[in-house]
Structures are given as structure tokens and as C-alpha cells.
Structure 1
Amino acid sequence: MAVEAPRRPDRAISPAEGRGAWLHTAPSSQVLTLYRKARAVDPSLIGPWWLRALDRGLLSAREEAFEIEDEVHFALTSRPGWVYVPWVGDGETGYWEYEPGEGDGWHPTTISLTDRHTGWLDASPPHRGSAVLPVPLTVSGLVPALPELEIWRIKTS
């Protein structure tokens, strides 16, 4: 399945700039049909959060997901310190990090899109080493939660 964008998605400064692959531009019904056929052969097939959600009937249209991505991007990048990180695994949408971070070797506070729940967002606190359990957020709850997320710090005890 064509999950790679034809231009350099790792240079995108927003989710919208990374939407150049076939799965972003082809008719949604074709994308979903091919995804379902491919998943029947390989259940671990990668794909963006929105395609997995669309496949499971959690979203009504791909455009709904793009609106969510754009809304989250605007909310975060309208505030100082948030940057969009476009380079993730094949088929995935980027995520946002809060800078200033904790320094070398630390992963900063991160907001990522997910299909794990219908709030569509996960917030990961700063950490070192292996991943931590993300905190589920809703798109509507993102802006009110930002003051708290922006003061998250590493717990050393």
C-alpha cells in the first residue's frame, strides 16, 4: 500500500504538508477497500491513525481526520514551544513536542494522534528510556489541558 508521500514528508511543517501520498488523495472508498484487502493478508499492516479508525467505523470520512489534524496543529503551534515532528514510522502522521525539553537524553512532552480512543489524542509526559503510558485527551480538551501539559517535568523519585 502506498503510504509514503511522493515529496519529502520529513520536511513537512504541518500534517497538511505531508498529505501527498496516494492514500491521502485517491478516492476514500478505493483507499479503504485496498487497506481492508491488504489487512486480510497481513493484520499487522501499518497505516495512519485515521485509516485504522475509518476501517473500524470510528470516523465517517478521511476529511474528518484531516480537520482534526489541522485543528490540533493550529492549537499547538499557536502557542510558544510546540513544534511539529513529521518524521515517524512509515504510514504514520507526525506528532508534536513541547520544547523546552528536559535536556539531552530525555523525550519531551509529546502529543500524538491515535485511534486507541475516540478523543484521538495521547499526551506522553517527558521521560528517559523506554516509552511511558500516554494520557488520553480529547481534541476539545486539548487547549484547556495545555497549561498543565506545558509544566510537566521528569519525576526523579
Structure 2
Amino acid sequence: AADGYMYGVELEGAWKFHPQWTLSGFVAWEEGRTEAPTFLGSGVVDDKPNSRNLPLTGSLALRWTDTSEKFWIEGRILAATEEDRITAADQAADDQRIPTGGTPGYIVANLHAGWQVNQSLALHCGVENLTDEDYRNHGSGQNEPGLNGIFGVKVSW
């Protein structure tokens, strides 16, 4: 049997410093370790990181909203530090899910805009990963999309 712990912190906030401008963001981090006997019955304990600990991750966004509050545009930066606190089992399983030596950190820029057409219809579009960064979320096993565009429609009644 193994004993372990996990703790972390997540902070999120927004500041409307002008009637048309809002600065928002979040930061999250966790730490977790597992203690298990290295050999059955021995008093020796092996202290290892938990599988897929979240690296320090954050986002910062600046949004401008038109005085009519029908149009907005937002720039957002997403970032994560390198995650090299990995278990031997995670590393031995495969290097597709977690690259050898850990998951590299990244910084990604996105640009989104929206239009509230009327009370029932809102349109949204965006360009994500503006620098075409090759990155992945830790433990995901696949890279996120490169430079890409999105379009959304929200209908309410």
C-alpha cells in the first residue's frame, strides 16, 4: 500500500479598469507525491511524484468591449512551465503521452472577437495559436492544434 498527498492552488480574477477594458487571468499549480515501500516488507520508502502533476499554468487576457456592449475583442496568452516531475512508470509506459525528460513548457497567443447580434443570437470567432507553437498539455499524449481558426454561434431562447 502507498501513502501520498496532493495539494495545489488556483487563482482567477478580473479587473475592469475602464468601462471598456477588462484585464483577466488565472494561475494554477499542484504538487503531489506518493510514498511506497521499495521492497515488500522493507523499511525503505521511495518518495516519487504523482502521475501527471499539473505544471505551473496560467493565462492573461485583455478585452475591449464597445460602448454598446455588442462587440468585443480579446487577446489572450496561455502559458505553462516545463513539467519534469514524472514517475518512472509514466516514463517507461511510452514517450508519446509524456516526452522523454518531461513535457516542455509553452506560451501561446490567441485572438478572439464576438458580436451580440440581438438578445437571442451571438457570434464568436477567433484565431488561436497565432505563432503556430508546437505544444501539448502535460500527460495528454497529443499536441494541440497549430495555427487555427474557430467560429461559433450561440442561440438562446
TM-score (norm 2): 0.30
Higher helix share: 1
Return the TM-score normalized by structure 1: 0.30
Structure with the largest fraction of strand: 2
Task: Return the index of the structure with the highest Cα Rg.
Answer: 2
